[in-house]
Amino acid sequence: MVLTPVLELISEKTFAARKDSHGDYRSISLNARRAELLAVAAALPSQYSDLKLQDYNFSDVITRDVCIVGGGSTGTYAATRLRDLGKGVVVVEHKDRMGGHTQTYTDPQTGRTVDLGVQAFHNLDIVKNYFNRFNIPLVTVNATSSGVTSTSVDFRTGKEVAGYVPSDPTAALVGYAAQLAKYPYLETGYNLTYPVPEDLLLPFGEFVTKYSLQGVLRLIFENVQGVGDLLNLLTLYVFKLVGGAISSGTSRIGFLTTERQDNSELNEKATAELGQDVLLKSYVVAMNRDAAGAYAKVVVKTQDGLKLIQAKKIILTIPPKLYNLVGWDLSSNESSLFAQFRNSAYYTSLIRHSGIPSPS
């Protein structure tokens, strides 16, 4: 039997009442979630539970090589790249736009743009080629040359630390890059060797102490977002977060941003090119990846009603948390794994008339 929960049948109030202090749903056990979903499964129309092709009008059936769930940066790139390779794609995105947390505000009076979400991109060929594909010029920004004046403050007392001068991170960056080079496979995924190397499982603070890399901490912390307690993260995750941007022998982490100060332009152009292959304001309500024949079947609630997607492959680009996977036919192993995932977050805002005096 395919488990066929539907988001709209389980109210947001039910979920919200069970959020913990971090805004997560981790307090709901997997068994309780399954019991709740099974309780509503009997009330679902047959097309949810059986995913029969004959239950859908011809115009409501979408057949593609790949179904991409999530239209953030990863999903948008995957769709564009696969299209370039001659594959048929369809993207399912629950928001009314593509790009995820790449968000740009345009001042209605001046027309000036401000990137509220993604600020910069790694200085890699794959990034440059992607932007060049849509004729979007890039410029280089550097972690140590942002033009921002910093003040060192002791968070325990709130007082400025007089006379503090940050150490030169060059030597520590060289050391960090040397350690990173031991695990080249981390650049392309989580294809870990087994047993997993002990160093990768150390809290990053212990790893830094072990290899005398203290000089790199400030630079990393200032240029990563939403990591939470950096020193207690596993070194594996820090390496994944700060990997290809490190250049051995330099004191800078190189990044790119758009010359027009509009990082959303990339996703807007990609969305326009993908056209009807993007289903906005849509979400998965049922899935059968073991369906007979060459295609997995995905039922999607769209602005125009239910659609049945037949796809040879499914790419998941949204955070694989259980509350994001309602409707998926998860195996017990998948459910057990995804139930263990945790995430941190960061927030951004745009302030008008902040009261901060203008420079004299």
Q: Find the mean pLDDT for residues 4-31.
A: 38
pLDDT of residue 86: 96
Separation between Cα atoms, residue 275 and residue 71, nearest integer Å: 13
Separation between Cα atoms, residue 8 and residue 281, nearest integer Å: 13
Q: What is the DSSP letter of 289?
A: T
Average predicted confidence (pLDDT) for the chain: 80
Separation between Cα atoms, residue 252 and residue 230, nearest integer Å: 19
pLDDT at position 334 over 50: yes
Look up residue 116 and give its two tokens.
């509220």
Q: Look at strands 254-258 and 121-122 and give their pairing.
A: antiparallel
Separation between Cα atoms, residue 95 and residue 254, nearest integer Å: 31
Assign 203 to helix, strand or coil.
Answer: strand
- pLDDT tens, residue by residue, 312-321: 999 999 999 8
Please report, rounded to a whole number, the percentage of residues in the chain having pLDDT higher than 90: 41
Residue pair 301/285 in contact by the 8 Å Cβ criterion: yes
Domains and CATH numbers, the chain: 7-100+275-338 (3.50.50.60), 153-252 (1.10.405.20)
Q: Find the mean pLDDT for residues 286-308.
A: 87
pLDDT of residue 3: 35
Task: Give the highest mean pLDDT range of 134-143, 197-206, 254-263.
Answer: 197-206
pLDDT of residue 29: 47
pLDDT at position 37 over 50: no
Nearest CA-CA partner of 46 in 284, 308, 280, 279: 308
- pLDDT tens, residue by residue, 205-238: 999 999 999 998 888 887 776 677 889 999 999 9
239 pLDDT band, cuts 50/70/90, is very high
In the chain, beta strands by DSSP E? 61-69, 89-92, 104-106, 113-115, 121-122, 138-142, 153-154, 159-160, 254-258, 278-279, 283-288, 296-302, 305-316
Residue 307: beta bridge partners? 300
Give the torsion sign (CA, 49, 74, 62, 83).
negative
- pLDDT tens, residue by residue, 143-169: 444 455 677 888 888 888 888 887 888
Residue 287: beta bridge partners? 298
Comparison of pLDDT for 342 and 63, the residue scoring more: 63
pLDDT of residue 202: 97
Nearest CA-CA partner of 296 in 310, 306, 282, 285: 310
Using a CB cutoff of 8 Å and minimum separation of 24, what contacts does 124-132 make? 124/244, 127/256, 128/256, 130/77, 130/80, 130/266, 131/256, 131/258, 131/266
Look up residue 349 and give its two tokens.
């805002």
pLDDT of residue 354: 67
Task: Give the highest mean pLDDT range of 36-40, 70-74, 293-297.
Answer: 70-74
Written as one letter, the residue type at 337 is: L
Comparison of pLDDT for 3 and 360, the residue scoring more: 360
Please report, rounded to a whole number, the percentage of residues in the chain having pLDDT higher than 70: 77
16 pLDDT band, cuts 50/70/90, is very low
Task: Give the highest mean pLDDT range of 45-59, 268-282, 338-352.
Answer: 268-282
Q: What is the DSSP letter of 166?
A: P
41 pLDDT band, cuts 50/70/90, is very low
Residue 114: beta bridge partners? 105
Per-residue DSSP letters for 224-284?
--S--SGGGSBHHHHHHHSSTT--TT-S--EEEEETTS-THHHHHHHHHHHGGGEE-S-EE
pLDDT of residue 180: 92
